[in-house]
Amino acid sequence: MKTLIDSSIFKKYESKARGYCRRFNPIFTSAIGSIMNDIDGKKYIDFLAACGALNYGHNDCDMSRALLKHISNNGISAGLDLFSAPKADFLESFHRLILKPRGLNYRIQFTGPTGTNAIEAAMKLARKVTGRTNIIAFTNGFHGVSLGALAATGNKYNRMGACFSGVTRAPYEHYMGPDFDTAEYLDKLLSDPSGGIEAPAAILLETVQGEGGLNTASAGWLKRIASLAKRHGALLIVDDIQAGCGRTGSFFSFEKMGFEPDLITLSKSISGYGLPMALVLIKPEYDIWEPAEHNGTFRGNTHAFVTAKVALEKFWGDDSFSKEITTKAALITERLSHIKKLIPGSYIKGRGMMQGISVGSGELADKICRLIFKKGLIIETSGPHDEVIKILAPLTTPMDLLVQGLDIIQEAVIEVMNKSVPVDVVPFHKETADTPKSIATNLPFTIITNRNKNYAENLNHDVLG
Ligand SMILES: Cc1ncc(COP(=O)(O)O)c(C=O)c1O
């Protein structure tokens, strides 16, 4: 198809606040699974997944069908927080498939539709529960850019020009190096009447810092933070907006770590389809909101409830998806362990299917990512200096496509580092009729996984008809 839209329209009419489109500048028209198509017919492998909002890939066929059916039946679209059948269905599935099997007991608050709305609600509720105002947030944490959440976000560029109060910054695990115990440091500050920190309403953290450079916290450190929060009368808020919904291998990023957060925020992939939706999980004893005390027009996107239910039923009915993610994560680690040998001083970061490689400088990461994009793969950087090349492929990415994407990363690193292929680097994907190396022109368009087929065949799901 010839380009009909002139991309200068965006420069002319859209605010300079635009971001991702500066690096990835084609005009995108369609997408399926882990493939995006631009207006000129070029295909790209997507290792960005709308920054974690598309864990199940683009346009999952079962979610599309359910949503189309809902719309063609004149199903409710905007409904404030009125009772609706899709909301009831979502609540039932979330309780049966996510909370109950994990022995968790939370009430669900639907907030405004983006992650930052959920963070605002969680911070406000913790303040109401405890009667305190201070929130402890961590170095390199990212929690959104509305004013309350931005106060908890560390990034200087995002914080510029705003004025904050009510948040105290603490060092994340290993921020001060491997030998400095940051949990003990925080405990000491909070225990000391002259430590200079107001008693906190909450401690807010990510178990893997997605935007902050894929820093991971250990189960041991997280457990100690959970216990010191309790001891100091603060609620523990886990921001699972990016690391949740399967990204680290389990539905929640903190599973089997031996603690339960008081509040959990989810957004991004909770709708399954990239539709705006956010929620706070609240331990029942802390659900002290008065009716509509924390409100918003778009609390509960009914279209998102429809697709979110399909996502839960399709991917979280058993542990097969979790196992699939673990296998793919191991492949990513394995391939990165070869790639890092090509870049002196580089190292692997992250966990599950949110892994990447710190290459030491934003300049080098940028150079590599630009070449990667030229070769047909969409991938971003993260970290305080944008020095981490961050793989955030849809969790549903088929193995052969994952390998093709990792091949492209390796190929670009070799070119940028001006290296010939060393013996122990995994050879590029062999070109075959099924998996051509020339991905820019010849990617398989429709990828139907077994789960798609099984879901359609085995589940007598009323929304599918
Ligand atoms: C961990 C985390 N929390 C909160 C947010 C904010 O979400 P949103 O951009 O939807 O407001 C993000 C966004 O990247 C995030 O990664």
pLDDT in tens, 411-450: 999 999 987 666 566 655 544 333 334 333 333 333 345 6
Residues 158, 276, single domain; the answer is yes
Q: Is the CB of 380 under 6 A from ligand 1?
A: no
Determine the distance separating the centroid of ligand 1 and the alpha carbon of 144, expressed in angstroms: 5
**Confidence grade of residue 145 (pLDDT, cut at 50, 70, 90):** very high
Determine the distance separating the centroid of ligand 1 and the alpha carbon of 78, expressed in angstroms: 23
Residues 362, 439, single domain; the answer is yes
The model's pTM is 0.93
Q: Are 214 and 390 in contact (CB under 8 A)?
A: yes
Q: Of 315, 342, 363, which residue sits at a domain end?
A: 315
Q: CA-to-CA distance for 155 and 136, rounded, in angstroms? A: 15
Residue with CA closest to ligand 1 atom 6: 144
Residues 295, 154, single domain; the answer is yes
CB neighbour list of residue 352: distance below 8 Å, 6 or more residues apart: 208, 247, 248, 249, 253, 325, 326, 329
Residue with CA closest to ligand 1 atom 7: 115
Q: Of 291, 315, 339, which residue sits at a domain end?
A: 315
Q: CA-to-CA distance for 248 and 216, rounded, in angstroms? A: 11
Residue 458 lies in a domain: no
Residue with CA closest to ligand 1 atom 2: 143
Burial class (CB in 10 A: 0-12, 13-18, 19+), 8: exposed
Sheet containing 235-239: order of strands: 107-110, 279-282, 263-266, 235-239, 200-205, 134-138, 167-170
Q: Of 315, 330, 346, which residue sits at a domain end?
A: 315
Greatest distance between any 2 Cα atoms in the chain = 70
Q: CA-to-CA distance for 246 and 49, rounded, in angstroms? A: 13
The residue with greater pLDDT, 452 or 259, is 259
Taking Cα atoms as reference points, which of 286, 289, 290 lies closest to residue 264?
Answer: 286
Residue with CA closest to ligand 1 atom 4: 143
Query: In the prediction, which pLDDT does 304 show?
Result: 98
Residues 342, 401, single domain; the answer is yes
Residues 297, 334, single domain; the answer is no
Secondary structure class of 425 (helix, strand, coil) = coil
Residue 355 lies in a domain: yes
Q: CA-to-CA distance for 359 and 392, rounded, in angstroms? A: 17
Query: Residue 334 belongs to what domain range?
Result: 8-60+319-451
Q: Are 387 and 346 in contact (CB under 8 A)?
A: no
Instruction: Select from 48, 55, 135, 142 the residue to mutate for testing ligand 1; criterion: most ligand atoms less than 8 Å from CB.
Output: 142
- pLDDT per residue over 217-250, tens digit each? 999 999 999 999 999 999 999 999 999 999 999 9
Residue with CA closest to ligand 1 atom 13: 144
Taking Cα atoms as reference points, which of 211, 245, 278 lies closest to residue 48?
Answer: 211
Determine the distance separating the centroid of ligand 1 and the alpha carbon of 303, expressed in angstroms: 21
**Confidence grade of residue 162 (pLDDT, cut at 50, 70, 90):** confident
Q: Is the CB of 267 under 6 A from ligand 1?
A: yes
Determine the distance separating the centroid of ligand 1 and the alpha carbon of 248, expressed in angstroms: 16
Q: Which atom of ligand 1 is nearest to the CA of 278?
A: 10
Q: Residue 463 has which token pair?
A: 């929304």
